[in-house]
Protein backbone atom coordinates (compact mmCIF):
# COMPACT_ATOMS: atom_id res chain seq x y z
CA UNK A 1 0.00 0.00 0.00
CA UNK A 2 1.21 3.43 -0.91
CA UNK A 3 -0.82 6.46 0.18
CA UNK A 4 -4.33 6.02 -1.15
CA UNK A 5 -3.40 3.10 -3.42
CA UNK A 6 -2.89 -0.64 -3.28
CA UNK A 7 -0.24 -1.65 -5.80
CA UNK A 8 -0.17 -5.30 -6.80
CA UNK A 9 3.01 -6.24 -8.70
CA UNK A 10 2.88 -9.14 -11.15
CA UNK A 11 5.70 -10.58 -13.22
CA UNK A 12 3.60 -11.21 -16.32
CA UNK A 13 0.09 -11.03 -17.64
CA UNK A 14 -0.22 -14.78 -17.05
CA UNK A 15 0.30 -14.26 -13.32
CA UNK A 16 -2.70 -11.93 -12.97
CA UNK A 17 -5.46 -13.83 -11.18
CA UNK A 18 -8.91 -12.33 -11.22
CA UNK A 19 -9.66 -14.13 -7.96
CA UNK A 20 -7.05 -11.90 -6.34
CA UNK A 21 -8.50 -8.74 -7.90
CA UNK A 22 -11.83 -9.54 -6.25
CA UNK A 23 -10.14 -9.28 -2.83
CA UNK A 24 -9.63 -5.59 -3.58
CA UNK A 25 -12.74 -4.71 -5.58
CA UNK A 26 -15.67 -6.76 -4.28
CA UNK A 27 -16.79 -5.87 -0.74
CA UNK A 28 -18.97 -8.99 -0.58
CA UNK A 29 -15.92 -11.22 -1.08
CA UNK A 30 -15.11 -13.07 2.16
CA UNK A 31 -11.39 -12.24 1.65
CA UNK A 32 -11.99 -8.52 0.96
CA UNK A 33 -8.96 -6.44 1.98
CA UNK A 34 -9.76 -2.96 0.72
CA UNK A 35 -11.84 -1.62 3.61
CA UNK A 36 -10.49 1.91 3.06
CA UNK A 37 -11.63 1.79 -0.58
CA UNK A 38 -8.17 2.57 -1.92
CA UNK A 39 -7.42 2.75 -5.64
CA UNK A 40 -6.12 -0.58 -6.94
CA UNK A 41 -3.15 -0.57 -9.32
CA UNK A 42 -1.83 -3.70 -10.98
CA UNK A 43 1.71 -3.28 -12.26
CA UNK A 44 2.76 -5.94 -14.76
CA UNK A 45 6.54 -6.07 -15.01
CA UNK A 46 6.93 -7.84 -18.37
CA UNK A 47 5.83 -5.98 -21.49
CA UNK A 48 2.23 -6.70 -22.49
CA UNK A 49 1.57 -6.67 -26.20
CA UNK A 50 -2.16 -7.29 -25.88
CA UNK A 51 -3.35 -3.83 -24.83
CA UNK A 52 -6.96 -4.87 -25.45
CA UNK A 53 -6.70 -7.35 -22.59
CA UNK A 54 -5.67 -4.56 -20.23
CA UNK A 55 -8.52 -2.33 -21.39
CA UNK A 56 -11.03 -5.17 -21.06
CA UNK A 57 -9.76 -6.02 -17.58
CA UNK A 58 -10.12 -2.41 -16.42
CA UNK A 59 -13.59 -2.19 -17.95
CA UNK A 60 -14.67 -5.50 -16.44
CA UNK A 61 -14.00 -4.11 -13.00
CA UNK A 62 -15.75 -0.85 -13.84
CA UNK A 63 -12.51 1.09 -13.66
CA UNK A 64 -11.97 0.12 -10.00
CA UNK A 65 -8.50 -0.99 -11.06
CA UNK A 66 -5.76 0.57 -13.12
CA UNK A 67 -3.38 -1.72 -14.99
CA UNK A 68 0.05 -0.31 -15.79
CA UNK A 69 2.89 -1.83 -17.72
CA UNK A 70 5.85 0.50 -17.53
CA UNK A 71 8.11 2.04 -14.94
CA UNK A 72 7.16 5.47 -16.28
CA UNK A 73 3.49 4.81 -15.45
CA UNK A 74 4.48 3.49 -12.04
CA UNK A 75 6.56 6.60 -11.38
CA UNK A 76 3.57 8.81 -12.27
CA UNK A 77 1.32 6.91 -9.90
CA UNK A 78 3.81 7.17 -7.07
CA UNK A 79 4.11 10.97 -7.33
7-11, 29-33, 59-63, 70-74: least confident range = 59-63
> pLDDT tens across 13-44, in order?
899 998 999 999 999 999 999 989 899 999 99
Rg from Cα positions in the chain = 12
Q: Are 58 and 65 in contact (CB under 8 A)?
A: yes
Extents of the domains making up the chain: 5-78
Q: What is the pLDDT of residue 78?
A: 87
Amino acid sequence: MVGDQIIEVKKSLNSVREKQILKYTQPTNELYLNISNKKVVIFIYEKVDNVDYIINLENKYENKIKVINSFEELEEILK
